Amino acid sequence: MMFWDGGGGHWVFWQAAVMWGAMVVFWGLVIWAVYALVTNAGRAPQAPWHGLGPDARSILDQRLAKGEIGPEEYTRLRETLEAGRPKAPVG
């Protein structure tokens, strides 16, 4: 009664197939994990604002530096951005 298959002591085909399938899945997951770690290690870290890229203030600064907007529009847009951002608690 060692294997509950009639006392033959041999593996049934489906048991060997499940074992091989599980081994293939296991090694596939290991290879995928190594690949994911290697590819993510070479990437630049995300921007600090929820991973959405550069924050709006730095984009606004770049547009002013490139001459795409004037100082008056820069001031107006900066005030608009700061009005929508919650204030940090003091202290």
φ, ψ dihedrals at 69, nearest 5°: -130, 155
Residue 74: inside a domain: yes
Specify the 3-state DSSP secondary structure of 76: helix
What are 36-48's pLDDT values in tens digits? Answer: 999 888 776 655 5
* pTM (predicted TM-score): 0.40
What is the per-residue pLDDT across 42-73, written as a single tens digit (0 to 9) for each? 776 655 555 455 688 888 899 999 999 999 99
Provide the 3-class DSSP secondary structure of residue 91. coil
In a domain, 17, yes or no: no
Confidence grade of residue 35 (pLDDT, cut at 50, 70, 90): very high
User: What is the residue whose two structure tokens read 């008056």?
Assistant: 72
Report the distance separating Cα 52 and Cα 40, nearest Å. Answer: 17
The label of the residue with tokens 């202290």 reads 91
What amino acid is encoded at 18 in this protein?
V
Residue 65 lies in a domain: yes
pLDDT of residue 12: 81
Of the CA atoms within 13 Å of residue 48, those in its CB half-sphere come to 4
Q: Residue 66 is part of which domain span?
A: 51-84
Report how many domains make up the chain. 1
